[in-house]
Amino acid sequence: MEEKGFEKGGDRLRVAAYCRVSTDKEDQRTSLAAQQAFFQSYIQTRPGWVLVGVFADEGLSGTSAKRRPQFTRMVRQAMEGEIDLILTKEVSRFARNTVDTLQITRQLKARGVGVCFLNDNIDTRDNDGEFRLTIMASVAQEESRKISERTRWGQLQAMRRGVVFGNNSIYGYTLQGGQLTVEREQAAIVRRIYHTFLTARKGAHTIAKELTQAHIPPPLRPDGPWSSAMVLRILRNEKYCGDLLQKKYRTTDHLTHRKIVNDGTEEQICLRDHHEAIVSRAEFQAVQAELDRRAKLFAGQERFSARYWYSGKVRCGSCGKTFTCKRTRRSDGTQYTRFVCRGHLDGACAMGAVPGKVLSAVARHVLDQLGLDGPAIIRQVFQELRTMESGGADQAGTGARLRQALRRQLDRKDRALEAYLDGALSRAELSRVVSRCEEEIAGLRAQMEQGKENIRREAERLQELQSFLERELESGELLLEELMERITVFQDGFLVEVAGLPVGFRVCAETKRDGRRCQVEITEWRPVPLGETR
């Protein structure tokens, strides 16, 4: 740059210099010291120039001016009239963010402060200074787009070869060198979660509470509690059955690197049996079906998904087979329900049919005699479901952790770019680091977007859920579904077993007709040791 570009009418200029390196490695510290020495010599040898200071940020990203204390201090002094001219090596040293570059240089120029980029031969005090600065920013932006396209193409080819992208945060697996290896202790916990959900029919909130009580360290935060969100992520992750699905998110803008869920707009890479499975494919698919069933139930979209409170719970005391429900429509349009032993239908059992009203009256009588507070149980169920749906206090904590992780990845990417510009990284090394960072950033941003969407829909879903539970409270069928474990039918009565109780209840009932009306009367009710009448 020509010397005349720095002289303004012969007045003494108070001059400052800014330099920055993106890492704190030894070679970068040497580079920073060399830059500082250069600027001190350069300014001190210019007639009429007074050195205000050399401001240097070490191991900090240039993406945002707010995170560079020396840069911020220099700009503040310039705005307060203590500096007339700022020197820097090149545009990328001053700021990686083009918007920041133009905004700050304009503010400084309005206060009579020029910014000179030595290597780029740009002086904002010149008439065409901002024009040439904008051109260089545009060129850099286009280069960034090309690098982004090449990086994405390289990632796609690696994905097709089965290389796993992401960080080592998949519970149950260790990710190293793009390969997944089962972590045995955590894999046992994953199997426990699947078994408890599918066989014991417990919800994510209950499973999380039991794991916390058992002092089992959760993913990513060994000292914290489990949450329903953690359990649901494990239940939904296809990696546990050996499959690998990549490109779950897509980039909407190569400048902001904003990621959204890939709804099929871009190709997804799905490799079956890619790595060692932790659970069988059949068990994984059964869990997905059960998750979908419960989701519809909670949203009030169906009533027990073709299941009723008695489904699979009524058995014959003679042959041991289950009862099936038969419905007959009368001529007046009303419906008559009865339960028939499957063994009787096959001609192998003499057990008679049980009217639906009798079976329902027997079950409800036991619950009434136990003194259960139906409304209180419903409120507790609703509160637990609400906690499960919203994630409770974990929702805010998860959001904060995602934002912190996102900042770390953005800083890591910026440091890699700066190291490349400083010559500390090769293009190939830069591409690998950037691709990994972008994959992580994509996942984090998608999780944040999904979290916002979940919060938006949660109020509507909870309102539907509350209405559903209130309807179930009126009918009483939700309590029957949750508490009735088994009803065994004998020729002279019933044995009712309630979930969680060590005894059963012997119940006898009679039906009485008053014209066309039929009433059920309970004639006997007493607790009995389980096994006494079997």
CATH number of the structural domain spanning residue 31: 3.40.50.1390
d(CA 252, CA 449) in angstroms, rounded, equals 13
Is 384 a residue whose pLDDT tops 60?
A: no
In a domain, 465, yes or no: no
Q: How far is CA 89 from the centre of its chain?
A: 42
In a domain, 9, yes or no: yes
Residues 227 and 329 in one domain: no
Bigger pLDDT: 37 or 9? 37
Bigger pLDDT: 185 or 531? 185
Residue 155's pLDDT is 60
In a domain, 425, yes or no: no
Instruction: Give the pLDDT mean for 480-495.
Output: 87
In a domain, 282, yes or no: yes
The residue out of 247, 269, 294 marking a domain boundary is 294
Instruction: Give the pLDDT mean for 437-456.
Output: 74
In a domain, 221, yes or no: yes
Q: DSSP secondary-structure letter at 112?
A: T
Mean pLDDT taken over the chain:
76
Asked whether 392 and 384 are in contact (CB, 8 A), the reply is: no
The residue out of 259, 294, 329 marking a domain boundary is 294
Residue 392's pLDDT is 45
Residues 66 and 183 in one domain: no
Residues 8 and 120 in one domain: yes
Residues 74 and 203 in one domain: no
Q: What is the DSSP string of 270-302?
A: EETT-S--SS-HHHHHHHHHHHHHHHHHHTTSS
pLDDT band (50, 70, 90) for residue 28? very low
Count of structural domains within the chain: 3
Residues 201 and 96 in one domain: no
Instruction: Give the pLDDT mean for 332-356.
Output: 88
Instruction: Give the pLDDT mean for 241-254.
Output: 66
pLDDT single digits (tens) 59-68: 544 444 456 7
Residue 489's pLDDT is 94
Q: Is residue 396 helix, strand or coil?
A: helix
pLDDT single digits (tens) 223-242: 788 888 888 889 988 888 88
Least reliable range by pLDDT among 12-16, 23-27, 77-81, 315-319: 23-27
Q: What is the pairing mode between strands 493-498 and 484-490?
A: antiparallel
pLDDT band (50, 70, 90) for residue 8? very low
Is 277 a residue whose pLDDT tops 50?
A: yes
Which residues constitute the domain of residue 347? 304-375+476-529
Residue 137's pLDDT is 63
Torsion of CA 33, 37, 40, 44, to 10 degrees: 170
pLDDT band (50, 70, 90) for residue 248? low
d(CA 234, CA 462) in angstroms, rounded, equals 23
Residue 258, phi then psi, degrees to nearest 5: -70, 135
Candidate ranges 173-177, 223-227, 447-451; pick with highest mean pLDDT: 223-227
Q: Is residue 474 helix, strand or coil?
A: helix
Bigger pLDDT: 27 or 95? 95
Instruction: Give the pLDDT mean for 47-52.
Output: 90
Residues 261 and 166 in one domain: yes
Is 365 a residue whose pLDDT tops 70?
A: yes
For residue 267, give the CATH number of its domain. Answer: 3.90.1750.20
Bigger pLDDT: 208 or 29? 208
Residues 345 and 482 in one domain: yes
Residue 465's pLDDT is 55
Residues 234 and 350 in one domain: no
Residues 283 and 312 in one domain: no
Residues 178 and 120 in one domain: no
The residue out of 272, 294, 316 marking a domain boundary is 294
Candidate ranges 260-274, 323-337, 420-434; pick with highest mean pLDDT: 323-337
Residues 173 and 253 in one domain: yes
In a domain, 274, yes or no: yes
Residues 269 and 341 in one domain: no
pTM of the complete model = 0.39
Is 216 a residue whose pLDDT tops 60?
A: yes
Is 148 a residue whose pLDDT tops 90?
A: no
Residue 258's pLDDT is 58
